[in-house]
Amino acid sequence: MNPRELETGSRQQAGGRHGRALLRGHEHCGRATSRAAAQRRVAAPPLACPGVALLEVVLALALFFGVAVAILGGLNTCVRLVRQVRMEAAAADLAVTLLSEIEIGVVPPTDSGPNLYEEPLQDWTWEIVATPVEGPLAAMDVQRVEVILRNTTEGYVYRLYQLLPSGKEEADTGQASAAAAETGGGT
Q: Residue 117: which region, alpha, beta or left (left: phi > 0; alpha: psi -120 to 50)?
A: beta
β-sheet bridge partners, residue 160: 147
Give DSSP secondary structure letters for 59-120.
HHHHHHHHHHHHHHHHHHHHHHHHHHHHHHHHHHHHHHHHHHHHHHTSS-SS-EEEEE--GG
Let me know: does 145 contact 99? Beta carbons within 8 Å: yes
pLDDT tens digits for 68-126? 999 999 999 999 999 999 999 999 999 999 999 988 888 888 888 788 888 888 889 99
What pLDDT does 137 receive? 76
Confidence of residue 38 (pLDDT cuts 50, 70, 90): low
pLDDT tens digits for 117-158? 888 888 899 999 988 888 887 778 888 899 999 998 888 999
Averaged confidence pLDDT in the chain: 75
Confidence of residue 41 (pLDDT cuts 50, 70, 90): low
What pLDDT does 121 receive? 85
User: What are the residue ranges spanned by the domains of the chain?
Assistant: 36-182
Percent share of the chain, pLDDT over 90: 33
